[in-house]
């Protein structure tokens, strides 16, 4: 069966520090991968998606970047965090674009102080 792992669950980082959030998927090949951010009490904002190794599309300009070094690994990074980067980050995967369900990780609560 397929599983998705996202870590860490919570993270407190000082302003200006780097960030690396990792997400891995097991039990499937060539998934579509997504990074979302969710503001408190709000819906999901798509940050990045990837349809294959090394293929990253960015949906919003921001202080973050994403990479897909392996088929089932998706990394969200920042060189220097801003206070506004605080939020709840969710990784997800799907078999095909939009026509099937998305499977989510448990999320990372990032607080930039």
Partner 1 sequence: SQQGEEDPQALSIQEGENATMNCSYKTSINNLQWYRQNSGRGLVHLILIRSNEREKHSGRLRVTLDTSKKSSSLLITASRAADTASYFCATDAAGSNYQLIWGAGTKLIIKP
For partner 1, the binding residues (CB under 8 A) are 6, 32, 41-46, 49, 51, 57, 59, 88, 90, 92, 97-107, 109
Report the residue number, 41 or 54, with the smaller CB distance to partner 1: 41
Q: In whole angstroms, how close is the CB of 55 to partner 1 at the nearest point?
A: 11
Q: In whole angstroms, how close is the CB of 46 to partner 1 at the nearest point?
A: 6
Q: In whole angstroms, how close is the CB of 109 to partner 1 at the nearest point?
A: 7
CA dihedral for 77, 3, 39, 61, sign (positive or negative): positive
> Is omega for the bond preceding 8 within 30 degrees of 0, making it cis?
yes
Report the residue number, 16 or 24, with the smaller CB distance to partner 1: 24
């Amino acid at each position: 069966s397929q599983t998705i792992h996202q870590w860490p669950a919570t993270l407190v980082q000082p302003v200006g520090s780097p960030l690396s959030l990792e997400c891995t998927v097991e039990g499937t090949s060539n998934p579509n991968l997504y990074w979302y951010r969710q503001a408190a009490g709000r819906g999901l904002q798509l940050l990045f998606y990837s349809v294959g190794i090394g293929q990253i599309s960015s949906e919003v300009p921001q202080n973050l970047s994403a990479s897909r070094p392996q088929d089932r690994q998706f990394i969200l990074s920042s060189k220097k965090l801003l206070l506004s980067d605080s939020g709840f980050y969710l990784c997800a995967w799907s078999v095909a674009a939009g026509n099937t369900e998305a499977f989510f990780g448990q999320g990372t609560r990032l607080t930039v102080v």
